[in-house]
């Protein structure tokens, strides 16, 4: 009964994906499509509360499995409350991060087995997979500098993961590139080094081909 399209944005912190996600949402709306924008973790009132726990630098002692389950708790709520209903009514759903983030941050980054992540995905998402995923790829140096600038601008209340080591972020980036390679029909890898307009144009070009 699903009629809508489910499009996700992925990338390392500071890759510029959230900016591009908003630009694409507006562009699709200008073209007359009904678009729902959501975010992981977050996206619902309950998800927002979970997001605060996950990203608060005061929670540095959160255990990897507790962290993993909280990401999926937020996602289960978002899938049932926002994403599936929107898709069933024919809307385009844009989601800023989804299970690929868990595969690379908790999987490649923290060493949790991908099969464990996918077991939880089956419970939380009940078979829902993105139709198309934009991976905004950028080198580590540029993305960390951007993430730092963002923290200076909006404060450090969401900086827990930015404080991970460079090696962690490198594993995340490599994890993303490996995922994209394993599912080339779903992933579109976008070079995120250009200016906002340039990267936006690459995304719109890919949209014309893939949707
Ligand atoms: P954001 O700032 O792009 O909204 O992402 C929040 C942080 O949460 C970011 O550092 C990536 C991290 N994250 C995970 O570690 N696992 C996940 O499953 C998701 C969705 C995000």
Q: What is the pLDDT of residues 6-35, one digit of tens each?
A: 999 999 988 999 999 999 999 999 999 999
Phi, psi for residue 39 in degrees, rounded to 5: -140, 150
Banded model confidence at residue 86, pLDDT cuts 50, 70, 90: very high
Cβ 8 vs Cβ 190: under 8 Å: no
Residue 106 in 3-state DSSP?
Answer: helix
> Does residue 200 register a pLDDT over 90?
yes
The closest residue, in CA terms, to atom 15 on ligand 1 is: 105
Q: Which helix (H) or strand (E) holds 147?
A: helix 140-154
> Does residue 58 register a pLDDT over 70?
yes
Ligand 1 pocket, residue 10 CB under 6 Å: no
**Ligand 1 atom closest to Cα of 18?**
3
* pLDDT score for 1: 47
> Does residue 153 register a pLDDT over 90?
no
The closest residue, in CA terms, to atom 3 on ligand 1 is: 13
Give pTM, 2 decimals.
0.94
Phi, psi for residue 156 in degrees, rounded to 5: -110, 20
* pLDDT score for 75: 98
Ligand 1 pocket, residue 176 CB under 6 Å: no
Ligand 1 pocket, residue 71 CB under 6 Å: yes
Q: Return the bridge partners of 188, or none.
A: 134
**Ligand 1 atom closest to Cα of 41?**
20
Ligand 1 pocket, residue 97 CB under 6 Å: yes
**Ligand 1 atom closest to Cα of 97?**
20
The closest residue, in CA terms, to atom 1 on ligand 1 is: 13
Mean pLDDT of the 41-47 span: 98
Banded model confidence at residue 157, pLDDT cuts 50, 70, 90: low
- Give residue 32 CA to ligand 1 midpoint distance, Å: 30
* pLDDT score for 96: 98
- Give residue 211 CA to ligand 1 midpoint distance, Å: 26
Q: How far is CA 143 from CA 10, 13, 188, in A?
A: 13, 6, 19
Cβ 83 vs Cβ 93: under 8 Å: yes
Phi, psi for residue 140 in degrees, rounded to 5: -60, -45
The closest residue, in CA terms, to atom 21 on ligand 1 is: 101
* pLDDT score for 186: 97
Q: How far is CA 18 from CA 10, 25, 116, 124, 167, in A?
A: 9, 11, 27, 23, 23
% of the chain exceeding 90 in pLDDT: 82
Q: Could you read off the pLDDT of 158-199 as tens digits, one per residue?
A: 666 666 788 999 999 999 999 999 999 999 999 999 999 999
* Count of CB atoms situated within 10 Å of the CB of 98: 26
Cα separation, 153 vs 14, in Å, equals 13
């Amino acid at each position: 009964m699903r009629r809508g399209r489910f499009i996700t944005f992925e990338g390392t912190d500071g890759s510029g994906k959230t900016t591009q996600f908003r630009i694409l949402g507006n562009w699709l709306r200008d073209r007359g499509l009904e678009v729902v924008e959501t975010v992981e973790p977050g996206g619902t009132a309950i998800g927002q509360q979970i997001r605060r726990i996950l990203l608060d630098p005061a929670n540095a002692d959160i255990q990897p499995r507790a962290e993993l389950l909280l990401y999926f708790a937020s996602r289960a709520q978002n899938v049932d409350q926002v994403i599936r209903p929107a898709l069933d009514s024919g809307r385009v759903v844009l989601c800023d991060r989804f299970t690929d983030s868990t595969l690379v941050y908790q999987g490649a980054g923290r060493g949790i087995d991908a099969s464990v992540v996918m077991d939880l995905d089956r419970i939380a998402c009940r078979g829902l997979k993105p139709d198309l995923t934009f991976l905004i790829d950028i080198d580590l140096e540029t993305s960390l500098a951007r993430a730092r600038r963002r923290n200076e601008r909006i404060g450090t209340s969401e900086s827990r993961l930015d404080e991970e080591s460079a090696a962690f972020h490198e594993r995340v980036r490599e994890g993303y590139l490996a995922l994209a390679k394993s599912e080339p029909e779903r992933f579109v890898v976008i070079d995120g080094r250009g200016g906002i307009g340039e990267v936006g144009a690459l995304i719109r070009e890919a949209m014309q081909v893939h949707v």
